[in-house]
């Protein structure tokens, strides 16, 4: 390991500009003649648009134009799409209802945009937006996924009866039924995975600029995957052909999945910029974000676990209703199916699994991937079932887990995934040591002396990351391949630019990717810069989500670096008059084998460009290589989180007394950044378990529409985390990386709820387990303090 190489806790390069206010976010970008877009949004969850009158609005000061859904349709702007095809069990394709960027006929959730005002300033735009008169015929709404399919539920989209998008399943139903018939014990749970609002620190934004001379468009936006945005906006929405549309995602302040998707606002800004022939900018306000950013989770599940006489799990089955909201967002269909049911084996050897998922429309904001995307929901089902089963059987929850762990690899689960490497006992053991589990009884008695009940909860989670082998996801319905590209440009002076198709919005790629290049080429860390987020610079890429940037994106860089090394050896061979096969490359030096003749990397770079030592017939000048890397498998990060809680018996308030996380992320490039990712993930998971939850009233109004009512986790809600690592390398990529971005959010909710129910001596408590909810539970079943 070099000082700044793989494994070193290097400080983040990008932080200087971020913490000194010099980051360049979409809203910081300005174009001459820029106008502002203000959207007119539906105050109703479900209504027919009878008439829109924009005459008065158009006359307001500073207004350039007021555009409606009817004009959007007349201009043949295409609908937004969901890019992952899911087929129902009967073979029929999912029912994707039209999603126009501006609603023309009906509105289907509060916040659905019906018109846009283009004005000189936001204030003028807002004044004008109030003058747009929309005549609505209000229709009944449904918000609860469990009630969306019933006879009484209003049908939201004309071609989607019962609001049912698909009825999907995975696994061998008959074998599972047989296993449950033969079971000695069955554990059952009803689980609601609460709906979450992402709340990235930077709200979404878009700036569209039309170049009339070239008939081309540029879009700056808050995207986790600018190339995918360009592809969808070109190929499906049809705003401009791909080569006439440049998408730039500059600095982006957090995404957590919510900025993967292609949203109506960016489409409208592009369309409007061409219409008014001036740049159009929109920056979401926080209250607008609550009503328009794709939400996460929102599953209603019944799950069962079958066990034999020896406490071995013989089968698992789950029936889930997944709320996809009013429209199908970009990847929404895949989240409750192939990102969920495929992980229901957890860390356990479960011979049979069967899962049914109904996806439904409701009159709520669309739901799509949010940190973990399907995998937190799966882990919550598995880890809650396992915990409750252990308690019902009178077994220690750690012994019960050990009894059922997968112990040999590779392991084929009954739900598609083939786990390639792991050591689940190792992470559990290390976590138990760090958490001082053996003295838990003592701490519980100590808490009791202060009127508090203490509980301990485990979560031995698994996830599938490194998304993903293209052929595999293609066979499951993905509309795109999930490889990654890299281009390594060595400059004549030996500095290096790496262009990557991944995108960083908090992950620190500028640092970690540079660590890889620095170590591999033996050049200073400072001599490497990472370029991402611009479709005119980077040839193509799939973006960042699903903990894929290390496992897939860095693998592509490794492949390009291999090619750089091969070419550089040729150059060095000409320089030292030796065969390229006799050149060795180590620590930034090219040496002729068995001699002391050597040249440095910088010299080779210069010679590659001046090309004085070889003819064009012998070797092409230059030192730049490209690679596309397609992984051979998902990666399977796994680990054990242990949460200890202390509950105030008088108020029901839960304090997290201790948190231990021991994760196996394979190779770790920068342990400091990895630790930060774990901290953030746990914070979001604790948020889900204790604090967060989007609440709609029966009319479809979002009750938790601001940070005054939607409880985001704060520093004071969290303890200092104790983070440890174990390591089994992923055999599926050259660096052995597994990925770390989502682990905390996946592991944490089950750990918290297992700890609280342990303290209370109850089987279950719903998320978020607020102080009020815990107090109410204690009124029904007073806990034993010690």
Partner 1 sequence: MYNFTFHRPTTVRQAAGLLARNPEGKLLAGGHSLLPVMKQRLAQPSALVDLSQVEGMTGVELKGRSVVIGAMTRHADVAKSDVLKEVLPGLASVPGSIGDPQVRNRGTIGGSIANNDPNADYPAACLGLGATIITNKRRIAADDFFTGMFSTALEDGEIIVKVSFPIAKKAAYEKFKHPASGFALVGVFVSKRGPDIRVAVTGAGSNGVFRVKSFEEALKKRFSPKSIEGITVPASGMNSDIHATPEYRAHLVGVLAKRALTKATA
Nearest distance from residue 125's CB to partner 1, in Å?
A: 12
Whole-number minimum distance, CB 296 to partner 1, in Å? 18
d(CA 628, CA 541): 9
CA 331 to chain centre: 11
Q: Which is nearer to partner 1, 127 or 664 (CB)?
A: 127
* Least Å from the CB of residue 771 to partner 1: 7
Among the listed residues 31, 58, 126, 613, the single contact to partner 1 using CB under 8 A: 126
Q: How far is the CB of 651 from partner 1 (least distance, A)?
A: 6
Query: Which of 57, 270 has the CB closer to partner 1?
Result: 57
Span 549-608, contacts to partner 1 by CB under 8 A: none
Instruction: Report the C-alpha gap between 739 and 730 in whole angstroms.
Output: 10
Pick 399 or 709: Cβ nearer partner 1 = 709
CB 304 within 8 A of CB 354: no
Encoded one letter per residue, x for contact with partner 1 by CB under 8 A and - for no contact, window 642-681 reads --------xxxx----------------------------
- As measured in angstroms, the least distance from the Cβ of 293 to partner 1 is 18
Residue 380 neighbours by CB under 8 Å, 6+ apart: 191, 193, 749, 750, 753
Of 735, 727, 749, 746, the C-alpha closest to 663 is 727
Binding to partner 1, residues 254-293 (CB under 8 A): 287
- Shortest distance, CB of residue 649 to partner 1, whole angstroms? 10
Q: Are 485 and 540 in contact (CB under 8 A)?
A: yes
- Report the residue number, 160 or 695, with the smaller CB distance to partner 1: 695
- Contact letters for partner 1, residues 748-777 (x by CB under 8 A): ----------------------xxx--xx-
Span 677-736, contacts to partner 1 by CB under 8 A: 691, 695, 703-704, 707-712
146/636 Cα distance (integer angstroms)? 32
Pairing of the two strands 589-592 and 164-171: unpaired
User: By C-beta, is 618 or 650 nearer to partner 1?
Assistant: 650
Nearer to partner 1, 137 or 650 (CB): 650
Least separation in angstroms between CB 648 and partner 1: 9
Which segments of 236-278 does DSSP mark as H helices, in order?
264-276
* Three-class SS state of 157: coil
Residues 376-435, interacting with partner 1 (CB under 8 A): none
- 780 in helix, strand or coil? helix
- Applying CB under 8 A, does 133 fall inside the site for partner 1? no
* Nearer to partner 1 (CB atom), residue 598 or residue 704: 704
The C-alpha atoms of residue 54 and residue 70 are separated, in whole angstroms, by 12
Q: Which tokens belong to 717?
A: 């809600």
Q: Which residue lies nearer to partner 1 by CB, 123 or 138?
A: 123
Q: How far is the CB of 509 from partner 1 (least distance, A)?
A: 32
Distance CA 325, CA 45 (A): 11
Q: How many residues bind partner 1 (CB under 8 A)?
A: 24
* Spatial separation of the C-alpha atoms in residues 510 and 488, rounded to whole Å: 14
Residues 336-365 that bind partner 1 (CB under 8 A): none
Candidates 109, 110, 124, 99; CA nearest to 37 is 124
Scanning 44-52, 126-134, 477-485, 591-599 for contacts with partner 1 by CB under 8 A, the matching segment is 126-134
Tell me how far apart the alpha carbons of residues 273 and 244 are, in angstroms, rounded to a whole number.
14
Q: Which is nearer to partner 1, 135 or 650 (CB)?
A: 650
**CB of 305 closer than 8 Å to CB of 343:** no
Kindly tell me which of 276 and 771 has the beta carbon lying closer to partner 1.
Answer: 771
Indicate the SS3 state at residue 18. helix
Question: How far apart, in whole angstroms, are the C-alpha atoms of residue 539 and residue 313?
Answer: 48
Q: Which residues pair with 41 in a beta bridge?
A: 113
Report in angstroms how near the CB of residue 708 gets to partner 1 at its nearest.
Answer: 4
Q: Indicate the SS3 state at residue 568.
A: helix
Shortest spacing between CB 779 and partner 1, in angstroms? 8
* Residues in region 64-123 near partner 1 by CB under 8 A: 123
**Residue with smaller CB distance to partner 1, 399 or 650:** 650
Q: At what angle do helices 555-576 and 509-521 cross, to 10 degrees?
A: 30
Q: Chain-centre distance of CA 715, in angstroms?
A: 22
Q: Which residues bind partner 1 (CB under 8 A)?
A: 123, 126-127, 130, 287, 650-653, 691, 695, 703-704, 707-712, 770-772, 775-776
């Amino acid at each position: 390991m070099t000082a700044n190489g793989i494994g070193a806790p290097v400080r983040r390069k990008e932080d200087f500009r971020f913490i000194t206010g010099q980051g360049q976010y979409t809203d910081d970008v300005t174009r001459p003649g820029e106008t502002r877009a203000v959207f007119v949004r539906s105050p109703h969850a479900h209504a027919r648009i009878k008439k829109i009158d924009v005459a008065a609005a158009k006359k307001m000061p500073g207004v350039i134009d007021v555009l409606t859904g009817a004009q959007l349709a007349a201009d043949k702007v295409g609908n937004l799409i969901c890019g992952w095809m899911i087929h129902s069990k009967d073979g029929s394709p999912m029912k994707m209802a039209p999603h126009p960027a501006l609603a023309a006929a009906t509105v289907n959730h509060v916040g659905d945009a019906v018109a846009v005002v283009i004005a000189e300033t936001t204030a003028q735009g807002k004044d004008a937006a109030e003058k747009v008169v929309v005549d609505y015929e209000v229709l009944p709404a449904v918000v609860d996924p469990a009630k969306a399919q019933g006879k009484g539920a209003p049908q939201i989209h004309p071609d989607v009866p019962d609001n049912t998008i698909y009825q999907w399943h995975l696994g061998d139903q008959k074998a599972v039924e047989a296993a449950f018939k033969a079971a000695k014990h069955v554990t059952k749970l009803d689980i609601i995975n609460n709906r979450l609002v992402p709340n990235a620190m930077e709200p979404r934004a878009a700036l569209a600029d039309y170049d009339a001379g070239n008939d081309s468009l540029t879009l700056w936006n808050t995207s986790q995957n600018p190339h995918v945005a360009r592809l969808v906006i070109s190929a499906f929405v049809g705003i401009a052909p791909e080569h006439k549309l440049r998408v730039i995602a500059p600095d982006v302040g957090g995404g957590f999945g919510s900025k993967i998707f292609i949203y109506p606002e960016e489409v409208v800004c592009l369309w409007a910029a061409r219409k008014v022939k001036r740049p159009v900018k929109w920056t979401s306000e926080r209250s607008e974000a609550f009503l328009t950013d794709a939400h996460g989770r929102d599953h209603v599940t019944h799950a069962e676990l079958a066990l034999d006489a020896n406490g071995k799990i013989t089968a698992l089955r789950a029936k889930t209703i997944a709320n996809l909201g009013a429209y199908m967002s970009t990847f929404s269909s895949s989240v409750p199916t192939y990102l969920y049911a495929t992980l229901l084996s957890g860390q356990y050897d479960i011979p049979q699994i069967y899962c049914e998922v109904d996806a439904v429309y409701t009159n709520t904001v669309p739901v799509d991937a949010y940190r973990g995307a399907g995998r937190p929901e799966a882990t919550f089902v598995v880890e809650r079932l396992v915990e409750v089963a252990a308690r019902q059987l009178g077994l220690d929850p750690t012994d019960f887990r050990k009894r059922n762990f997968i112990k040999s690899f590779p392991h084929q689960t009954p739900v598609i995934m083939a786990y390639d490497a792991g050591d689940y006992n190792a992470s559990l053991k290390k976590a138990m040591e760090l958490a001082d589990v053996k003295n838990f009884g003592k701490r519980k008695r100590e808490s009791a002396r202060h009127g508090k009940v203490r509980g301990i909860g485990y979560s031995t989670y698994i996830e599938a990351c490194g998304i993903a082998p293209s052929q595999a996801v293609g066979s499951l319905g993905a509309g795109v391949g999930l490889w990654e590209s890299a281009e390594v440009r060595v400059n004549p002076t030996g500095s290096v630019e790496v262009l990557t198709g991944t995108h960083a919005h908090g992950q620190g790629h500028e640092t970690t990717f540079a660590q890889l290049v620095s170590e591999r080429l033996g050049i200073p860390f400072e001599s490497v810069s990472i370029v991402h987020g611009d479709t005119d610079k980077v040839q193509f890429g799939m973006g960042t989500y699903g903990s894929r940037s290390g496992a897939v994106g860095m693998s592509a860089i490794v492949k390009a670096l291999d090619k750089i090394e091969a070419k550089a050896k040729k150059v060095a061979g000409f320089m030292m008059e030796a065969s390229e096969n006799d050149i060795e490359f180590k620590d930034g030096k090219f040496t002729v084998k068995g001699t002391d003749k050597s040249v440095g990397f910088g010299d080779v770079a210069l010679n590659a460009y001046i090309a004085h030592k070889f003819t064009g017939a012998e070797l092409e000048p230059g030192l730049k290589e490209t690679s596309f890397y397609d992984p051979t498998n998902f990666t399977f990060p796994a680990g054990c989180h242990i949460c200890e809680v202390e509950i105030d018996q008088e108020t029901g308030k839960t304090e997290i007394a201790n948190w231990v996380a021991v994760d196996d992320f394979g190779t770790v490039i920068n342990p400091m950044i990895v630790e930060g990712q774990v901290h953030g993930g746990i914070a979001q998971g604790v948020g889900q378990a204790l604090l967060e939850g989007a609440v709609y009233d029966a009319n479809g109004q979002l009750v938790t529409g601001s940070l005054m009512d939607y409880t985001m986790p704060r520093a004071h809600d969290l303890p200092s985390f104790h983070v440890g690592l174990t390591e089994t390398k992923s055999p599926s990529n050259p660096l052995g990386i597994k990925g770390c971005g989502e682990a905390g959010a996946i592991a944490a909710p089950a750990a918290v709820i297992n700890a609280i129910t342990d303290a209370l001596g109850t089987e279950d408590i719903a998320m978020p387990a607020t102080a009020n909810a815990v107090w109410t539970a204690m009124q029904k079943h007073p806990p034993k303090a010690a």
